[in-house]
Amino acid sequence: MTHPFDTLPAPRHPDPADAPALRWGVLAPGAIAADFTDALHGHSGQRVVAAGSRSAERAAAFAAAHGVERSYGSYEQLVTDPEVDVVYVASPHPQHLELATLAIGAGKHVLIEKPIAVTARDATTIAEAARQAGVFAMEAMWTRYLPQTDIVRQLLDDGAFGDLRVVTADFGFAADFDPASRMFDPALGGGALLDLGVYAVSWASFALGAPESVIASGSLAPTGVDEQAALILTSADGAQALLSTGVRAATPSLATISGSAGRVETDSPFWSPSGLRFFRGDGSAAAHWTDTSGRHGRDGMVYEAAALARYVADGLTESPLHPLDESISTLVTIDEARRQIGTVGVGGGPAD
């Protein structure tokens, strides 16, 4: 008797070059914006046509380095550029609310780096503003749009895993402690959960939906942000997600979904183009799928941009694969985990 894992479905819309081309503006051109721009220019027809920063010199240097036509010394100038269709908000997450609502207020579609905001409350504000303006808004959780994720999505939709019981995910790396760095400064939204843990929580949400309960334990850096965290999320039917994140040690960056009929284990890292290993319910190995696109690491961000371009062309205002309410729900989980751990939030007080 054959098993669903013996013949895997093909990923749908795997080639970003097939998507309609949009003209992109980038707000806060830093390292992540550089990789995003290079991914779009190298692997799709999408084009970043403008960069905006509070520093005209910084914006001009970014534009020159990455083949961008125009640069602006203010965020307001970029969002009012009539030749920009969609704005990519690439700032540290404490500025996401301000910059996303600025772009939305100018009538622009927005792709907002993960996490979409620092708190669920701020994420709700962004979602409400986009819905009222009738523009497209999406969190840049690029893992959701990778070919490997679509394979798993199809198998989940078909019930190929049976009754889901256990989901796992980890993401951690070793960072030297620097109280002024983005990873450790509360004012910059520091902490492992918001920067890295959001990937793990989003994976659990992808497989199990929003949890009914959250148990979190962790340790704090001297600045009061979470430097390590472990979460147990339990769904209404008793399935559990076991998640870990941290900035003091490198971890495997693997993710799994296990059910009564079989399981999938990702290759490392689970959050970018890699691969999948499938096992039947008796533990025997089935298929092994590997991403052969030639896109590596942050090249995979091109998939989310291509997906957004398709959605806009179809007249949608949210991603059907990762709607705004799910981005908010992920932050509800992170808010609660940060509260239980006692992490310090933006502005030096308790986590918002």
State the alpha helices, DSSP H only, in the chain: 31-43, 56-66, 75-79, 96-105, 120-133, 147-157, 192, 198-208, 301-313, 324-341
User: Rounded to 5 degrees, what are φ and ψ at 42?
Assistant: -90, -20
Asked whether 140 and 166 are in contact (CB, 8 A), the reply is no
Q: Is the dihedral of CA 107, 109, 112, 117 positive or negative?
A: positive
User: Is 81:72 a contact under the CB 8 Å cutoff?
Assistant: yes
Q: Which of 70, 114, 144, 322 is catalytic?
A: 114
Classify strands 213-220 and 70-72 as parallel, antiparallel or unpaired. Answer: unpaired
Amino acid 25 reads G
Neighbours of 342 (CB within 10 A): 14
Token reading at 289: 């799928």
Calpha distance 222→8 (Å, rounded): 47
Query: Residue by residue, what is the 3-state secondary structure of 74-93?
Result: CHHHHHCCCCCCEEEECCCH
In the residue annotation, 114 being an active-site residue is answered as yes
In this structure, are residues 208 and 164 in contact, taking their beta carbons and an 8 Å threshold?
yes
Catalytic positions: 114
